[in-house]
Amino acid sequence: MHRRAFLKTSTLSIAGVTALGFTNTQSNNPFSSNQLTVNGKRMERRIFELAKFGVDEKGRGYRVAYTKGDIEGRAWFMELMKKAGLNPTIDTAGNIIGRRNGKNNTLKPISFGSHIDMVPDGGNYDGTLGSIAALEVMEILNENKFITEHPLELIIFANEEGGTIGSKAMTEGLTKDGLQQKSQSGLTHAEGIKALGGDPENIASCLRRKGDVHAWLELHIEQGGILEREKIQIGVVEGIVGIVHWEVLIEGFANHAGATPMNMRQDALLAASRFIIAVNEVINSVQGSQVGTVGKINVQPGAYNVIPGKVTVGLEIRDLNAEKIEMLFKEIEKRAAVIAQESKTKISFERQPNESKPALTDKKLQQLINTTAKELGFSTKLMQSGAGHDSQHMADIAPSAMIFIPSIGGISHSPKEFSTATDMENGANVLLQTILKVDKG
């Protein structure tokens, strides 16, 4: 049983109780809400247990959505949810949803969670922290026989890393093209969702509308290095960037690499190289925190002795301002036209489905997280998220917010991703107490 009977610093406990006026009016709950605290050791143990699912033959983390590791990891997680009495179900998009009844089940649920899929060769904290902390919140309430007013809902979104697919399906719906898009696993999203136990033919039945969810909260690692550098314990997210992807096709002419003089070539890879540099120059040409990346490339035919005839690259642009993304892309197109002309190649762009709009989090929830964290004795900072999250889609249908904890070295989407047990516990306690405050309205 975990209670904040005596906080590590007693002044905090006293200050917290009086400052909050957090006396429990819900008389049939044995402990007042601010006495509850998560079990950090259990959370840490589970982070490592989940890390065992989806390890490839080279020992790398490969719990990529729709693959065997993802499916097995989800089964493990659902088993824990069952044990916690959450009766988990899978919606038509493959999202896992568990519920804990409140005193008044006609109220809309307070929902929270994250994702457990990962990028190839990913780390053990991105998504998993928020998922395991959400389960921890449910278990602490169970163990303390604490019943909230609202029902609570734990959501593990499907395929967050492949384009926040599960949360998009739930909030705006997936198009036919979106469902047919190939995912990192090699399966289309439709095939992948089926493999998770979803029902892509009836994908729209998982749609929720504005007002269906009382509030959405997600705890996550920062994935950047600001909190660690500034020695801040809790980040309060103000906004989440929009993300747009393009497949860029550069067509030259494949020819003999020995017999074709340098001035008679239409080298697609040379043009692609200039294009990649141009992307970097355009993104850096204006002030702001926009980012642009060419993160993948395919060269054909791909031989020492053949001039590359065809190259495809993946272009991504992110910013909090959707218009800025469009403006930057137009500049990149202009630069591509010049490169194509000078290199006698053709460059064309195919905008990819399943893009993410930028989203602002709910101001009241931001404030609630901020005061809750401060009352728990933590330093805080308002910040934006350069990573995409399911929360940006949930923000379309419900007041939504995110809590960040430090990522050591600012490293993420890497096996070197790491957050300390103390920071995870701090974040989960902020999540727990924020949920309880939202519940009291």
Residue 239 in contact with Mn ion, rule: CB under 5 A: no
Among residues 126 and 228, whose Cβ is nearest to Mn ion? 126
Residue 267 in contact with ligand GLV, rule: CB under 6 A: no
Among residues 32 and 407, whose Cβ is nearest to Mn ion? 407
Collect all residues with Cβ–Cβ distance below 8 Å to 169 and sequence separation of at least 6: 92, 93, 95, 158, 193, 203, 206, 207
- Per CB under 6 A, contacts with ligand GLV among 339-398 are 387-388
Which stretch of DSSP H or E encloses residue 22?
none
How many angstroms separate the Cα of 187 from the Cα of each of 95, 102, 179, 193?
A: 17, 39, 10, 9
Residue 153 in contact with Mn ion, rule: CB under 5 A: no
Instruction: Kindly write down the DSSP assignment for every residue of 222-241, as one continuous string.
Output: --SSHHHHHT-SEEEEEEE-
DSSP-based helix, strand, coil % in the chain, nearest 5: 40, 20, 40
Residue whose C-beta lies closest to Mn ion: 127
Least distance in Å: CB of 387 to ligand GLV?
4
Least distance in Å: CB of 128 to Mn ion?
9
Q: What is the 3-state secondary structure (H, E, C) of 131-174?
A: HHHHHHHHHHHHHCCCCCCCCEEEEEECCCCCCCHHHHHHHCCC
388 binds, among ligand GLV, Mn ion, none (CB under 5 to 8 A by kind): ligand GLV
Contact range with Mn ion by CB under 5 A, out of 76-84, 126-134, 205-213, 276-284: 126-134
Collect all residues with Cβ–Cβ distance below 8 Å to 337 and sequence separation of at least 6: 347
Among residues 33 and 385, whose Cβ is nearest to Mn ion? 385
- Per CB under 6 A, contacts with ligand GLV among 140-169 are 161
Collect all residues with Cβ–Cβ distance below 8 Å to 217 and sequence separation of at least 6: 110, 111, 112, 365, 400, 401, 402, 403, 431, 434, 435, 438
Collect all residues with Cβ–Cβ distance below 8 Å to 123 and sequence separation of at least 6: 61, 411, 412, 413, 414, 415, 416, 417, 418
102 binds, among Mn ion, ligand GLV, none (CB under 5 to 8 A by kind): none
Residue 192 in contact with ligand GLV, rule: CB under 6 A: no
Least distance in Å: CB of 138 to ligand GLV?
24
Among residues 158 and 307, whose Cβ is nearest to Mn ion? 158
113 binds, among ligand GLV, Mn ion, none (CB under 5 to 8 A by kind): none
Residue in 98, 127, 235, 252 binding Mn ion, rule: CB under 5 A: 127
How many angstroms separate the Cα of 74 from the Cα of each of 50, 61, 277, 342?
A: 9, 15, 40, 51
Least distance in Å: CB of 7 to Mn ion?
30
Site string for Mn ion, 74-113 (x = CB under 5 A): ----------------------------------------
73 binds, among ligand GLV, Mn ion, none (CB under 5 to 8 A by kind): none
Q: Which residues bind Mn ion (CB under 5 A)?
A: 126-127
Q: Which residues bind ligand GLV (CB under 6 A)?
A: 161, 387-388
